[in-house]
Structure 1
Amino acid sequence: MTAKNSNTPIARREALDDRTEQLKRMMEIRFVEERIQKLFSDGYVRGSTHLANGQEAVAVGIARTIDPDDIVTCTYRGHSHALALGATPQGVLGEICGRVIGCAGGLGGSMHLVEPTVGLMPTAAIIGAGLPIACGAAIAAKARGTDRVAVAIFGDGSANIGAFHESLNFAAIQKLPVVFVCENNLYGEYSRINLTTPIEDIAIRATSYAMPGVIVDGQDVDAVAAAMATAVARARAGEGPSLVEMKTYRYSGHSRSDPATYRLPGELDKWLQRDPINLFADKLVGEGVLDKGGVETLRTDMRAEVEGATEEVLASAQPELVEMLSHVNAAGPGGDRRITFWENRAGKHAH
């Protein structure tokens, strides 16, 4: 199979070399997240969901710039990054709906997506938790003598916690091959950035840690990719970390059924005028890669593909209750030997 007709994570990642495929992936992300919201409303999703509709250019711009064996950490708002990096719609939707077809077997849910074949570490529900993990991955790359790069993706709210400052400081001192990417969508949960942060640009904090700080138009996928290419090349060359701030916006509320009534009047409308999918589609039309009819055909096709993936997911099985403990380990009687929790207690607590 070629990259374009294969649905494996690696092939999906390779497909991003093509600009039309980049637009298709952005559309796919948008339609998957719209479908997630409906699945939640229809009762198919347990727990919370956090959408990133409006931030598709950041996800695809990062994914098209790094290699599949680079390591990526991100937050609970990570559906877009999982799909951009190569996770399949079936894997993402299946995980969110708690089905065995999911990328973690239906055991992790919306906030814990993972796809190690394309470098995605389990997404973290703890604010800022991915930053020190990315530093650990960067240390491992240095110790093994590889040119792997770690990318830590986080929100503007994370820039106010200790893990952010500790990670940037440590990465700078150790000259770690890590790129810190702040998705500044103006809101940390329900609070606007001007109410929580005394500066407008997170990137200026890079100066305190002697690393480059770059501000990027996060609605422009080419601008995202260009900034990432520079930061990644710097990291691979052993020149240390960078802080890249993506100015972007999420169209939905913080989570679930949040109507986001706390937004400033007219703010959403202003950002909708610079929708990243429309901006990139217009650019491809201007380049002669597509015409307007072709763009609409892509929208129709991608929506149909997402609907097909959703049907496949809803027809798939849910994990057995026993799977809840299938990856839990405990020290066995032999000391060093590790056995699963379920094996250790089999029979005694079978029900």
Structure 2
Amino acid sequence: MDSLYRTVRLIRRFEERAVELVRSGDIVGGIHPYLGQEAVAAGVCAALGPDDIITSTHRGHGHVLAKGADPARMLAELTGRVTGLNQGRGGSMHAADFGIGVFGANAIVGAAGAIATGAAWARQRLGTPTVAVSFFGDGAVNEGVLLEAFNLAALWRVPVVFVCENNGYATTMRVADAVAGSITGRATAFGIPASTVDGQDPEAVLAEARTAVARARAGDGPSFIECLTRRFDAHHTFEHKVRLRYRGDDELAEIRSRDPVDVQGARVPAADRSRVDAEIEARLDAAVAFALESPFPDPVTALDHLYASGLSPRRGSEV
């Protein structure tokens, strides 16, 4: 209980700090806040081992943190510093940490499903007992690349768990206006076992994820989990300026009435909760200071790391 609370609280306060850094101009370009959806990342990643793999989305900070990334290096990445997870080159939507099994966030809707499936299949071929999880939103279930990943995973019994974070909206479009049939029906059409879980309850998500991960690890192939969750904040912080009105005040109040941090916090003794909160604040104070005191990359290195071989692209003077 304490570890799940610690994770959801860390993600919540990290995202709130990140929004503050967007407003101050230290994070350029804005972010897609994960506020309200913390139970999904916390519950799923708690079911994984250190060698397991995840792929993430444009709204991916929570997934990366729940898998064990250093918040200081993550904030340094968001602020574009050389001490970031990817030397400031990945930013909010492309953060990765291969050392802990984070094979990257991905700004292309649905694309990470194929990456996770391929990574899990490759490990399977090597005889390594690795499970991969692909996180994606409800908007991804209409993308062809994700359906192709379902097909391949089912045919080859790939040890991958597909996790749909259904927060009710694809940007500003309601699920009911975008998805024919059901979200779980996408998976069952390929013979993949699918379930729907309360995505505001970390323990409910963890229980379902454990079942899916155990199935994958036993060689029984993929599973699909639809997590019904709520996005408390904007699709993107740009909305803080333009004030889009696709959700009314009553809906926003209802959305915030069930907070995953409070749901899990209620299971933790008050003294323990206060202690965890204080520890997280101190950790994030240090993380913000680390990020803002770190240097920016040298512009001379802008073309580095473009090729896995180490080769550099031709300069303008080289024909």
Instruction: Give the secondary structure class of the aligned counterpart of 2:302.
Output: helix
8 Å contact 1:73–1:152 — kept in the other structure?
A: yes
Matches within 5 A, 1:1-351: 19-199=1-181, 201-258=182-239, 259-284=243-268, 290=269, 292-329=270-307, 338-341=309-312
Q: What is the aligned residue count? A: 315
Taking every aligned residue pair, what percent have the same amino acid on both sides? 40
The Cα of 1:35 is off from its aligned counterpart by 1.1
Deviations 1:314-348 (A, max 9, x none): 01111111222110239xxxxxxx44216x659x6
Query: Separation in 1 of the partners of 2:265 and 2:284?
Result: 19
Distance in structure 2 (CA, Å) of the matches to 1:111 and 1:124: 6
Partner Cα separation in structure 2 for residue 169 and residue 208 of structure 1? 9
Q: How far apart, in 2, do the equivalents of 1:179 and 1:323 lie?
A: 38
Q: Deviations over 1:144-182 (max 9, x none)?
A: 012111111100000011112111111111111111000
RMSD: 1.8
Give me the whole-angstrom Cα distance separating, in 2, the residues matched to 1:323 and 1:156.
38
CA distance in 2, matches of 1:121, 1:318: 24
Cα distance in 1 for partners of 2:27, 2:92 equals: 8
Give the residue type in structure 1 aligned to 2:254: K
- 8 Å contact kept, 1:254–1:260: no
- In 1, the alpha carbon distance for the partners of 2:301 and 2:68 equals 25
CA distance in 2, matches of 1:204, 1:132: 19
- 1:320 and 1:206 mapped to 2: Cα distance? 46
| Cα distance in 2 for residues equivalent to 1:162 and 1:210 | 17
- Structure 1 gaps, min length 5: 1-18, 285-289, 331-337
How far 1:72 moved relative to its partner? 0.7
Q: Mark the runs of 5 or more structure 2 residues left unpaired by the alignment.
A: none
Distance 1:230 1:339, change over 3 A: closer
Q: Distance in 1 between matches of 2:310 and 2:247?
A: 51
Bigger CA radius of gyration = 1
Instruction: Compute the displacement of 1:44 (Å).
Output: 1.0
Q: Is the 1:128–1:164 contact (alpha carbons within 8 Å) kept by the matching residues of 2?
A: yes
Q: What SS is found at the alignment partner of 2:246?
A: coil
SS of aligned partner of 2:13:
helix
Write the letter of the residue equivalent to 1:302.
I
- What is the one-letter code of the residue matched to 1:98? G
SS state of the match for residue 267, structure 2?
Answer: helix
Instruction: Tell me how far 1:100 sits from its aligned partner.
Output: 1.1
CA distance in 1, matches of 2:186, 2:249: 29
Output the CA distance in 1 between the equivalents of 2:27 and 2:183.
Answer: 34
Contact 1:217 1:224 in 2 (8 A): yes
Q: Which secondary structure state, in structure 2, belongs to the residue aligned with residue 173 of structure 1? A: helix
Structure number with greater CO (CA < 8 Å, separation at least 6) is 2
Conserved in 1, the CA contact under 8 Å of 2:131 and 2:159? yes
Secondary structure at 2:165 match in 1: strand
